[in-house]
Amino acid sequence: MSHPILTKDYRENLQGGVMICGINFGYSKEDEVKEALGVQQPIESPSFFSDSTVNRTDFAHEIRKWLNLWDIDLAQEPGEEGPLEKSFFQTNWDNSQTRSTDSDFKINTSYLVENSAGFLSLLEERKPRLVIFVGVLLIEALNDIRIRERVESILGERPGNALSITGDAPPGKRKFKIMLQKFPKAQIISLPHPQARGLRDEYMKSFRDVVKPLILKGDIPTRA
């Protein structure tokens, strides 16, 4: 069984594209009520990631908003998509569906490691040039010693610990971090989860000069 992908296949994302990867599939309170009432939810045809007419989840909305804050102006109307829009594809590490990472059962690094086979197979198949993890647990799982041999067989030798970068925050406000890691065959960006308490758009905007070049085929800087 293939690992689920939420976007349409294009030549640009089948090899060397940009993977957007969350922890698992969200499940809102509204979804739960509809399921209990037996309401059939329409299944949308897959499209390109920034298509605003489909995939109207909070997760996709937040990521598209961050991309806009970083001056990555992706087309949002069908028929306007170009090579950059087509290069993105969205998936999740785990195929479970919960309201949060601890609402139904605890999703931690060990859980993700134990359930990494599908994600790693997709990583091997698609060979993205850039992986954007949404949620710090994901880069921790990718670097876990228990799956390191498998990860290195796909991405090449692990380059050491990821670079940790914090943005500008007003005094007394929480500072979130992004993490960058450059494997021989792919670059990794790890972002905080949009649901993180206290995370503001203005704070995420402060990462523009770091993230934008990577999305537009730049390189992660090496350690000094």
Domains of the chain: 16-36+61-70+92-215 (3.40.470)
> Using an 8 Å Cβ cutoff, are 88 and 18 in contact?
yes
Q: Count how many Cα atoms sit within 13 Å of the Cα of residue 31 in the half-sphere of its side chain.
A: 10
pLDDT greater than 50 at residue 31: no
Residue 165 to residues 184, 220, 223: CA-CA distances in angstroms?
21, 12, 12
pLDDT greater than 50 at residue 224: no
What confidence tens digit (pLDDT) does each residue in 130-186 have? 999 999 999 999 999 999 999 999 999 999 999 999 987 767 678 899 999 999 999
Strand order across the beta sheet in which 187-191 lies:
88-92, 18-22, 130-134, 187-191, 177-182, 163-166
The letter for the amino acid at 121 is S
- Percent of the chain surpassing pLDDT 90: 66
Start-end of H helices in 15-99: 29-36, 58-69, 83-87
| Residue 42 C-alpha from the chain's centroid | 24
Q: What is the pLDDT of residue 173?
A: 77
What is the C-alpha to C-alpha distance for residues 181 and 167, in angstroms, rounded to an integer?
Answer: 17
What pTM did the predictor assign? 0.88
